[in-house]
Amino acid sequence: MNRHVRRGVLSGALAIALLASIDVVAASNVSAGLGSRGEVSVPTWLYAITGGGVIGASGLMSMLVTDRELLDALHGKRAGFGIPTAARRIGTLLGGAIGILGLVTIVAVGLFGPQIGQVNLGVLLVFVGGRAGLTIVAYVFGNPWPMLDPWRRIASLLPSGFREYPDRAGTWPAVGALLVLIWLEVVLPVTSDPALLATLVLGYTAFTLLGAITFGEDVWFRRADPLSVWYRYYGAVAPLQRTDDGVELRPFGARLRDGEVFDDRSGVAFAVLLVAELTFSGAIATRPGTRVVSSITDLGVPSPIVYAVLLLTTFGLFFWAYLLAAQRSRLRAQTFLSTRYLGYRFAGPLLAIAAGYHFAHYGGFLLSLWPTLTTVAQAPFSTLNPSQIVLPSWFGHVEAAAILLGHVLAVWLAHGTAIDTFPGRVQAIRSQYSFILVMVCFTIASLWIISLPTVSPI
């Protein structure tokens, strides 16, 4: 047997054994009656085994699946579906009407509806419908936001393009705006004060329309609007992708290997932020996180400043780790390709990790509050008793599985990207090590966070 093949078989056997041990531990947890999110007892050694299993699986793929034609056959499967122009126009009008109706509802019910976050339709639409539901639809099926975006519909009716958008700005305005939105979500009672949330939505509306009028609708919503970039990047993971004639069905994550999703460092920064913000939001809602925040606020530092520093630090560390991985990849592969270029090419797998992590955080949230959303929608200006679904005890393992599946997909995509990027097999294998190491660290942090009991941030 060929030495490389034998090594790949051994790596694969190791990966299978390690992943099987994870299943055994999960099964024992279920039989012990452990709870879901915040109650799953996952021992620390399991994280190391999980990381080792992913590395073993990566070794198997790197050693055995190096045939470009095979990879192209697996990733390149496509089935196009044309949509008549009339149907596309009707869908665009209908989707735009739904989006504008949703925006008006959020503002109106937020200002004049019941001022209880749990039963206010505006709050539920933003967080259950938008942050959770639409995002899950984006990476499971396809990006619905271009049809629904109410701000783009309004902007299309207004004069625009008075100034040229600076190329050097890239997607950095969207990165900065998303950082501000995450920070406001943490420091302000937006989930319990519907009027405040409606006011912020009005402010976001003014900001977005002003930007679109100044720089032009197309460039603003592609580069600077954080929600548009958010849904577009999550939608890049999905099997349904838009084409000029309709839609195209592809394998999950196949588009992330094309190298067309990112074209500058700011786009990579946004992808890193999608992973970092979920880590930050999850960490500050755990007991260790609240202890860190309270220990700093006890020194007299206001909590909004503490959260701002922690958010920026988390994002900065994640971005630095990824850029360092790109630098190390260039050195290990001994290539003349620039670090910047490798950063663009290998950023796609980050979106697969973000999708898995997002489902781990918001899948249960969406399922448990969906009955409340549908009930409140029937009488948005009345105060109703909220109804929730109590998730079964085993759902915590679904969340852990979502993180692992996202990471496995990311490792597979990183391998395909390396094979595409480098002509030599050894070069392709060596170039992956640092990126896979960073992805494993991200996943270990994610699994650790979801295993901890959740508490309300300070």
299-336 pLDDT, tens per residue? Answer: 999 999 999 999 999 999 999 999 999 999 988 888 88
CA dist 335 and 430 (Å) reads 11
pLDDT band with cut points at 50, 70 and 90 for residue 23: very low
Distance CA 61, CA 9 (A): 10
Give the model's pLDDT for residue 53.
59
Mean pLDDT, residues 36-62: 51
Q: Containing H/E element for 137?
A: helix 135-140
Query: Can you give the pLDDT at residue 69?
Result: 65
Write down the pLDDT at residue 28: 36
The residue type of 234 is Y
10 Å CB burial of residue 299 (0-12, 13-18, 19+) is: exposed
Q: Which residue has the higher pLDDT, 85 or 298?
A: 298
d(CA 294, CA 179): 22
Cα–Cα distance measured from residue 138 to residue 171, given in angstroms and rounded to the nearest whole number: 20
How many C-beta atoms lie closer than 10 Å to residue 313's C-beta? Answer: 12
Distance of CA 182 to the CA centre of its chain: 13
pTM (two decimals) = 0.87
Q: Provide the 3-class DSSP secondary structure of residue 407.
A: helix
pLDDT above 50: residue 366: yes
pLDDT in tens, 408-445: 888 888 888 888 888 877 788 888 888 888 877 887 77
pLDDT of residue 35: 37
Of the chain, the percentage scoring pLDDT greater than 90 comes to 50
382 residue type, one letter: S
The per-residue pLDDT for range 175-188, each reduced to its tens digit, is 999 999 999 999 99
> Where residue 251 falls among pLDDT bands split at 50, 70, 90?
confident
Where exactly are the structural domains of the chain? 3-450
Q: Specify the pLDDT at position 16.
A: 35
Side by side, the strands of the sheet bearing 246-249 are 79-82, 246-249, 240-242
Locate 377 and state its tokens: 């929608």
